[in-house]
Chains A and B, each alone.
Chain A
């Protein structure tokens, strides 16, 4: 799966599962600062990513995800490992 497809699918998940505002989602967007995702929302985000892409994201790897771009990159790395 390439980054473009990952981004499209992640965007759908963010809108449908987390209720985020589609207009604000871009690769540079910071989940906490730009998308208003709080600490509970971060856990929801990780669960949604695991379900959508069939990957496992342990807490120590999750700590490095701050932006949409970083989330895409992590999924890309895992899927192509």
Chain B
């Protein structure tokens, strides 16, 4: 069943959020992440993870103060690429908040699963293994390289750690991957194939190849002298995105089950819309008709009207192409309401977590509803004339509203929109 033409909302199984986790360039758990984005703090700095002196771009949003051995046994760290570490850490926080811990023989464990979304998989490990192959030959390649590199392993590892024995899968749609993961996981619960899903994603591509590859595509900002001002979505002087890293995870549950076990409902997953640009490998279709279709499909799935949308967490990458096109798309999808709805890009602070961005921004969107505060778009000093909506510039803003929309678009022309309802909606 496709999102957008599903069973009417009042006749289908409802999906609520009962746990959240995040690790990001602005904070390694939900509370520190929220504090940073509410204060409008940038997580962008000079690259420290490798020698970037020869690179066109030498800035990124790295996860800070992070030692994997604070989270994993030393023996295990060697077998976990950074992408999986991030997803496992976010998943632990979400499971802990939801208060869910299964034994392998629990019946509920068999009705629980994982959908992970990411763009690349273990890029750092893949790069290392290929270098070993070239320099030292095939019999020096690590036997644990393949399981570290394959992208679905992040889902597998979380299922192993938490005894999630039901549907466990993985979506790979570039920068919309973890938004797809959340939407697909909600669909799995809606159609009755599971009652609980751990959904989200992560990315860890601040490597020499990751930076060089995107820099050569001229997708990255090269404002190397002012890292904290480099990511400036919707600003006339934006010059590309800034790479971030990290991940996010949500615990999704069938609503009746969540209520029956007395779980705290944080939000409801109301709508999921998808579309394709079918236009170019990296550029969005001019005019934003593709992205607009995803937003409309998500609103239809949620059963809400444009007049009810209270906040949009934009894809807002700070690239020339995205920000103007997304603005046009919001106008197409919301009509005159586009000028009323506050829109912000939390990427202005976190950088672009690529495949993990949708999950990180789902957490930001839900927190915004929960705490009645919209995190700002920082570095918006001189708006691009083509970007003429209310982007909540530079300062968080108090608001009241029940419906947040989150956009995620990916290379390949993928457009994904999620609609979240507040806990007030979820409890109704």
Contact = CB atoms under 8 A, between A and B. Distances in A.
Contacts of B140: 47
A19 B142 contact: no
B75 interface: yes
Contacts of B32: none
Instruction: Indicate the size class of the contact surface on chain B.
Output: 10 to 19
B142 A18 contact: no
A19 B144 contact: no
B77 interface: yes
A36 B73 CA distance: 13
B75 A18 contact: yes
Nearest to B147: A40
A19 B78 contact: yes
A3 to B, nearest CB: 26
Contacts of A20: 75
A40 B144 contact: yes
B75 A44 contact: no
A43 interface: yes
- Interface SS of chain A: helix, strand, loop or mixed? loop
Contacts of B79: 40
B428 interface: no
B73 A44 contact: no
B74 interface: yes
Contacts of A18: 75, 78
8 contacts: A18-B75, A19-B76, A19-B77, A20-B75, A40-B79, A44-B142, A44-B143, A47-B143
Interface of B: 73-79, 139-140, 142-144, 147
Interface of A: 18-21, 36, 40, 43-44, 47
